[in-house]
Amino acid sequence: MSEGTVMAQSLYFTFVLSCLICGSYGLVSSGTTTVRSVDYNATTVTPIERRDSTTKPSTTQSNKSTNAPAVRLTSTTTSKVLTTTTRPPKTTTTANYSFNTEDLNEGIDKKVEKRVWNKEPEDEPLEFECPPLGLESLRVKDPQLRASSYKRRGLGPHRGRLNIQSGIEDGDIYDGAWCAQYEDKKQWLEVDARRPTRFTGVILQGRSSIWSWDFILTYKVQFSNDTLVWQPAMNGTKEAVFEGNQDTETPVLALFNESATVARYIRINPQSWYENGTICLRAEVLGCTLPDPNNIYAWQQTEQGTKDKLDFRHHNYKEMRKLMKSVTEACPDITHIYSIGKSHMGLKMYVMEISDHPGKHELGEPEFRYVAGMHGNEALGRELLLNLMQYICQEYKLGNQRIVRLVKETRIHLLPSMNPDGYEMAFKKGSELAGWALGRYSYQGIDMNHNFADLNKVMWDAIEFDFQNNDKSKLINHYIPIPEYYTSEDAFVALETRAVINWMQNIPFVLSANLHGGELVVTYPFDRTEDWAPHDDTPTPDNSFFRWLATVYASTNQVMSNPDRRPCHNENFQRYNNIINGANWHTVQGSMNDFSYLHTNCFDVTVELSCDKFPHASELPIEWENNKESLLIYMEQVHRGLKGVIRDKDTEAGIADAIIKVDDIDHHIRSVADGDYWRLLNPGEYEVTVSAEGYNPSTRMCRVMYEHYPTICDFRLTKTPKQRLKEILAKGGKLPKDLQLRLRQLRLRKLRASTKAINSRRAAASRKARGS
């Protein structure tokens, strides 16, 4: 890795943190034109102090006004980062692998409610009269964007999209804004809505870059039906001048007056800009599209949504509880709600379990999980899981055989919000105004995707030790224990992360996916490079199956599989068929996927669901349709490979913690409490060896077929003579004749071996004496 690359990454990380430090909220008005400028407030990272976890962050407010046409009312909020030394209580489970049922009829704790939700008006997200046209979500296509000029291809009008992200290097084709070639007041960015539209507002950002600091201070707006005659937005009898940005990242909203113009085209015309920068911006346009009276085929232009009757809106914590409660009331026989712990602010981490026997593990039935909202502002995964639980309930009741089979043969666990504190922060600002980073981190400022124990290092250190010392006693490839430093109460580990680890240890998950947002790609382990390179292909021993899993989701996702789609930000994943090894994208230490693979039996991938982290509610039906088949078919992959029960040959009792080794794949798994196991594998013939403490190993050939059901491969193990002897002597019993004979044979074999060794030594000594 070059020195320049290291410096660039360091600057980029510093820049991202600086974007989280502070912000402001303001209201701008003049005459009949209403302009709202909305900045976001974010957590300020300060030295960690030990305090009671219920301590409320301090809030200060200050207002300023000027005689300018626009008046900014500003309030800044800083929040002290707190940590806690208390760990979530360990949930005691039996072989049922279950958690206690949550009663959602109970109200939310008043202290938590007061701590999380203030009764101020700005605690509710601003509701737009009209939705975004879709610059951020890419519903607005590149040909619909034009500009008066641009510096180069990478700064063209197609890059002037809200929240678009640049790469590490400026100057490529993936820069972070539209930037005009000339610095004058005649520059503009134009959006073609393609239909008559009542425009109601504009949202502006500066340029995404770690090298440049460019943003617009003020701007005008014009409308047109033919791009020849333009009508300006008015402020009474004068042309309106709207207030822009004060930094590069904070989204700033301007709302037009009630008599907003209906037109097809809109232009954003910068009037002033940051004095040490140039004309650059990212934007979103708000507007309600109207039917075109001149188009007799208007029905063909209707947006394709979905036929499913689901609750398509964004749900905060309270609304999420209500929805989950409604699902359990509609399908009480197949659902079970439980909590795996609490967030730093005291919000419960609810899980919806779906199974034909909810609340317990059934012998031979695999456990599956979806996790969403690890980054609180990546909200699409949360809504997809809420939609999924509704859909499964509805279709099960209708007798949809695919869903009925899935419910009867799989125990499904859906965690819609791993970071509920972060989500609430982003939700309060709204889908278009939260920016790129607000709500990503936990309340303590922790990125939970880097917060799991780094077991990769433990494994690679053991491999290095084996190589240097030719000693395989320290070599481990599965169930790698968590380092002691990580489990201490002083370790900087989020309560939410601890809760998820406890959940993983208590339920024998087989397959999982971690739902994120902000890109369109599926990544698979390992997520961390071995030598700390910024990116490098770092496959697991199960690389072929992980690639299959990633391909299953990506190839059935309607957007990822579209060959004509454009890249989201600064990576073209289509050249990799929309899947990539996580470490080959960018190295991530302490990821949940790597931890899951190395510490448990579970295979886990990350799904980046959408270019837009927090899509507007109007996009949710389309996003559900884009992902519905992918969500279902990915769950069905839990039934690929081998499954079986490992039993004691004499007692038929299940054997727990038996090690299942597949020849030529250097990653083992273990049986669970009742002796059942699941080994995910691609079709083929495999030599499988099972071993357990106190038993003789057993090997057999098992063939995985192409059908969508697993191959049954059971094992019956016989105890070793030593183990049988221990058990008999422990009970004070008499040795059976076969064991007595076996022990006699072992003694004779040992006696012969020792006699032979003694005779060999004597012969050698005799030869040496004669020679001297």
Provide DSSP, 657-674. Answer: T-EEEETT----EE--TT
Please tell me the number of Cα atoms within 13 Å of 148 on its side-chain side: 17
What lies within 8 Å, CB to CB, of 758 at 6+ separation is: none
Q: Which of 365, 608, 619, 623 is catalytic?
A: 608
What's the Cα-to-Cα distance from 680 to each of 386, 527, 551, 603, 605, rounded to whole Å? 27, 20, 15, 8, 14
Q: How many CB atoms lie within 10 A of CB 300?
A: 7
Q: Are 76 and 58 in contact (CB under 8 A)?
A: no
Could you tell me which of 408, 379, 406, 411 has the C-alpha nearest to residue 391? 406
Return the number of other C-beta atoms located less than 10 Å from residue 575's C-beta: 9
Q: Which region, left, alpha or beta, applies to residue 501 given φ > 0 means left and ψ of -120 to 50 means alpha?
A: alpha
Q: What does the alpha-carbon distance between residue 213 and residue 247 come to, in Å, rounded to a whole number? A: 8
* Nearest residue to 383 via CA among 547, 622, 167, 165: 622
Whose structure tokens read 């989500």? 423
Task: Give strand pairing partners of 252.
Answer: 204
Sign of CA dihedral 606, 612, 618, 621: negative
Q: Is residue 289 classed exposed, middle or buried when 0-12, 13-18 and 19+ CB atoms within 10 A define those classes?
A: middle
The Cα 439–Cα 442 span in angstroms is: 7
Cα–Cα dist 50/120, whole Å: 29
For residue 468, the cross-strand partners are: none
- β-pairing verdict for 684-691 and 698-704: antiparallel
- d(Cα 742, Cα 711) in Å, to the nearest integer? 36
Strands (E) across 119-257 are located at 145-147, 178-179, 189-205, 216-224, 231-232, 234-235, 238-239, 242-243, 252-255
- The residues facing 698 across adjacent strands are 690
* Residue 127 is a catalytic residue: no
Where does 430-564 have alpha helices with state H?
A: 455-469, 484-487, 495-506, 543-556
Q: Which element (helix H / strand E) includes 321?
A: helix 317-330
Cis peptide before 526 (omega within 30 of 0): yes
CB neighbours of residue 117 within 10 Å: 16
Do residues 458 and 480 make contact, with C-beta atoms less than 8 angstroms apart?
A: yes
CA dist., res. 166 & res. 180, Å (int) = 17
Positions annotated as catalytic residues are 608
